[in-house]
A and B are shown apart, each in its own frame.
Chain A
Amino acid sequence: MDTFETQIDGFVGREYKEGFVTDIDSETLPPGLNADVIAILSKKKNEPGFMLDWRMDAYERWMKMETPRWAHVNYPPINYQAISYYSAPRSQADGPKSLDEVDPKLLETYDKLGIPLEEQKMLSGVAVDAVFDSVSVATTFKKELAEAGVIFCSFSEALQKYPELVRTYLGTVVPLGDNFYAALNSAVFSDGSFVYVPKGVRCPMELSTYFRINATNTGQFERTLIVADEDSYVSYLEGCTAPMRDENQLHAAVVELVALKNSEIKYSTVQNWYPGDSEGRGGIYNFVTKRGACRGDNAKISWTQVETGSAITWKYPSVLLEGNKTVGEFYSVALTNHHQQADTGTKMVHIGKDTSSTIISKGISAGQGQNAYRGLVKVLKGADNARNYSQCDSLLMSDRCGAHTFPYLEVKNQTATIEHEATTSKIGEDQLFYCRQRGLSEEDAVSLIVNGFCKAVFKELPMEFAVEAQKLLSISLEGSVG
């Protein structure tokens, strides 16, 4: 087993591949947060008046809130006054009209990530709203989407062009005082994506945003709002990578989904923020509030996530099943290696009648990673015939890691059928032996077993993402059996 152990160390010790800093000028506000900063932020972005009021309201609530401490994670307190709340790439000022006008260095960054916009545009048929730090710099496929009547733009643009639409839905799923990080986000969010799919439209392509944290010490406060009107369908992809650096960075995003009658929203995430180095230095703090509301009957919201990055992940994509016969789904693979900590899971709130939800969560812990599933399934009094199935499996790959499961089931209706099961086990020696015996390398064997373990989640991902997710998992994990 000696060579095996060495091999493992080799794989576990592998460093983050996407670490590089793009050197471009950022127009950055000095660090600190107060009412003036919010006013400046709002003014810089030329926002309608209601937005500033809304931000101020959120800021006041945030001031009265305390940092949540219940999650199974440890980190030093964050100094919110040391964060700069606005940073825009300089070239944004001129407003690029096409890809040619985009800062070449920025494009280079995407090249390094292997997702050049040009290629994306031509080959994949995916529209990309690239968010570089806090402001959108390049948007593609606008035209094709416009023909279908789909609005897909940066949040700032949406505030300029469709203020009423934003006003109608913003904060209706995640209220501005929902939790500490959501309130902070509501006060200072810089930009994000806005999607509106009109009645009866099936969005002709998968929408995608690549986020990237860049300027040092700039917290990222993204805001995403997706509205699917009656009888519509949209699939949205979110993917992240971040450059390597030593200081911890805060990322407190809010994602709101609104699914009206008979509509469906599929939201997929591959998260690969910088996880810190093998000693646990640096890495992103990812404190995200994601929630969707199935407002109308027969609406469906499906969250799929592959979480391999971030030093700390604190994230519970949830679904409020308000309408009758609505469906909520949550598929998750969360991996923690080195000193990563993840406290993630979902909330399914059954409100309407005949609602159903499915939760499949796969946690993989390696190195000294701590991985916790925390979930709530709540069946309210009126939610007749609610159905939930939850499965949370954990795979342990070292003797210093941790895997934890904290499900909460609250059932107030007799006709509900709720099932939860969870298992925790080591990667099977006999499974490995079996594969090795048939000529697979240690690395391939582990990859095979882990991919098998995660298959139920991967099959929910759109094609492009499924490939990327498997690659990511292999890089982050291969061979880290202990």
Chain B
Amino acid sequence: MVDSSEQIAEEVGKYLSQHQEVASTLPAAGISWVDAHREAASKRFEQLGFPTTRDEQWKYTNVRSIARHAFDLSLNPVDVNPSVINKLTIPNLDAHRLVFTDGIFSPLLSQISDLPKGVTIISLAALLRSDPSRLENKFGEVVGEPINGFNAMNSAFILDGAFIEIESGVKLEKPIELLYVSASTNEQALALPRNIVVLRKQSSATLCERYISVTHSQSLTSSVSEVYIEDNGILHIDRVNEENDKSFNIGALFANVGRNARLKSNSITLGGRLVRNDIVVRLSEDGAETQLDGLYVVNDRQHVDNNTQVLHDHPRTTSREHYKGILSGKARAVFRGHISVKPEAQGADAVQKNNNLLLSPEAEVDTMPQLEIYADDVKCAHGATVGQLEEEAIFYMRSRGIGYAETRQLLTHAFAAEILENLGQSSIKDYIENRINHMMGLS
């Protein structure tokens, strides 16, 4: 290892100088609390640098290949033909759609119409310019101090993203689709989407976040989503990554779940060269609930790291977590699930599972389901498995005249189905199923 402080300075320096260059042109620049927030985050970024494998949270995910590069922050939307986007949308998904090219909102490609009363869906940059006061105290309220360099980098710029607010009692039926398109033909475009989602009391919404590439260029996306769900609110988020095999995607979702409120999240990783999903859910009031599901189907040299943290801070909070992975080629998957139960969180109920299927000799899995419990009246369990398709199941099917290849595909499909069942929209489920079948050579 070379001198780490020098290395940090070098890796971070290029972004910091970029930051200085554009600081005055960033949305809402000049408003003191916005400036202060960006400034503090940039200092923090300088301090933290990019994570290394010596950092326990990044032990199995080496981001040197990201840190070495100099990615270029995109400041303006990229011109993409709407027909290209239309071809890539999920069939039969009727949604309010916000499209971002390299992290910048593209009004041209987006479709937001007929919003019911009490629903705000707007690009963050637009809101920062038009009505910044609505965002005061929103940044970092859930995140707190940035947990790693990527988060800090995102907070240092706060450039664009989606702002969604659902007023009390409003139930938004139509899902909201956030489509992040890596569109630049320049190698090494940098996108830093920042999303804020607020669900007021008794409201509900469904969100679909998708990351796709329309070119073969390498890109880095470092996103941060902050989610607040007030009492009895219900939010469902499906996140799907289908970027090209050169892309880096580091995503962080921070959620505060209120009294008897509920967050359901489904992280599906199919694409990307290196994908890291951090999810931190704070069950911050009595009876708060979360269900975190995930599925990663990876191949070749893909690397996927799901890092989740569920904080049971209050009594009678519930969490369910189930991540499944199918690995082929030289793919590598990392799972870390951390459940912590505070002393006052009596009656907490947590279950966490991670199952992995290794389909090739070169694939690798590192899994760490973790429990940290300081209360006694709790029910907590976790489990992890790594294995192959069951020989007995294969034998059973083959003895009934089904060929080996088909047996393998069917069993793999069945393995994934358990997670796909929980997706928010049947159209998304059908789409992902088709994609996986295609990947596994089933269709």
Contact = CB atoms under 8 A, between A and B. Distances in A.
Interface of A: 70, 72, 394, 396-426, 482
A418 B378 contact: no
B371 A422 contact: yes
A138 to B, nearest CB: 45
Contacts of B358: 411, 413-414, 416
Contact of B383 (A414, A417, A422): A422
B298 to A, nearest CB: 14
A354 to B, nearest CB: 15
Contacts of B359: 414
8 contacts: A399-B346, A406-B368, A414-B360, A417-B386, A417-B388, A421-B383, A422-B371, A482-B376
Given A411-B365, A424-B381, A416 B370 contact: no
B297 interface: no
Nearest to B377: A426
A413 B358 CA distance: 8
Given A399-B343, A417-B386, A424-B381, A409 B376 contact: no
Contact of B373 (A410, A413, A417, A424): A424
A418 B367 CA distance: 11
A409 B367 contact: yes
A29 B377 CA distance: 50
Given A402-B372, A405-B371, A424-B379, 11 more contacts: A397-B376, A401-B374, A402-B374, A405-B382, A413-B361, A416-B358, A417-B385, A418-B387, A419-B384, A421-B381, A424-B381
Nearest to B383: A421
A396 B376 contact: yes
B177 interface: no
B369 A407 contact: yes
B1 to A, nearest CB: 15
A402 B379 CA distance: 13
Interface string B331-369: 000000000000100100000000010111111111111
Given A406-B368, A420-B369, A421-B381, A414 B375 contact: no
Contacts of B376: 396-399, 401, 426, 482
A414 B362 CA distance: 7
Contact of A405 (B60, B360, B370): B370
Given A399-B346, A409-B365, A482-B376, A419 B371 contact: no
A415 to B, nearest CB: 7
A425 B380 contact: yes
B56 interface: yes
B384 A423 contact: no
Nearest to B385: A419
Given A402-B373, A402-B374, A423 B368 contact: no
Contacts of A399: 343, 346, 375-377
Nearest to A390: B384
A256 to B, nearest CB: 27
A39 to B, nearest CB: 34
A459 B169 CA distance: 59
Contacts of B365: 409-411
A408 B359 CA distance: 21
Nearest to A70: B56
Contact of B343 (A394, A400, A410, A424): A400
A429 to B, nearest CB: 9
A373 to B, nearest CB: 9
A482 B377 CA distance: 10
B128 to A, nearest CB: 41
Given A423-B381, A424-B380, A416 B386 contact: yes
Contacts of B362: 414
B368 A408 contact: yes
A368 to B, nearest CB: 10
Contact of B388 (A407, A414, A424): A414
Closest 9 CB pairs of A and B: A396-B376, A421-B383, A424-B380, A418-B386, A414-B358, A405-B371, A423-B381, A411-B386, A417-B387
A68 to B, nearest CB: 12
A218 B362 CA distance: 51
Which of B363, B366, B371, B379 has the most chain A CB within a 10 Å cutoff?
Answer: B371
B293 to A, nearest CB: 19
Contacts of B384: 407, 409, 418-421
Contacts of A403: 371, 373
B302 to A, nearest CB: 16
A409 B366 contact: yes
B345 to A, nearest CB: 11
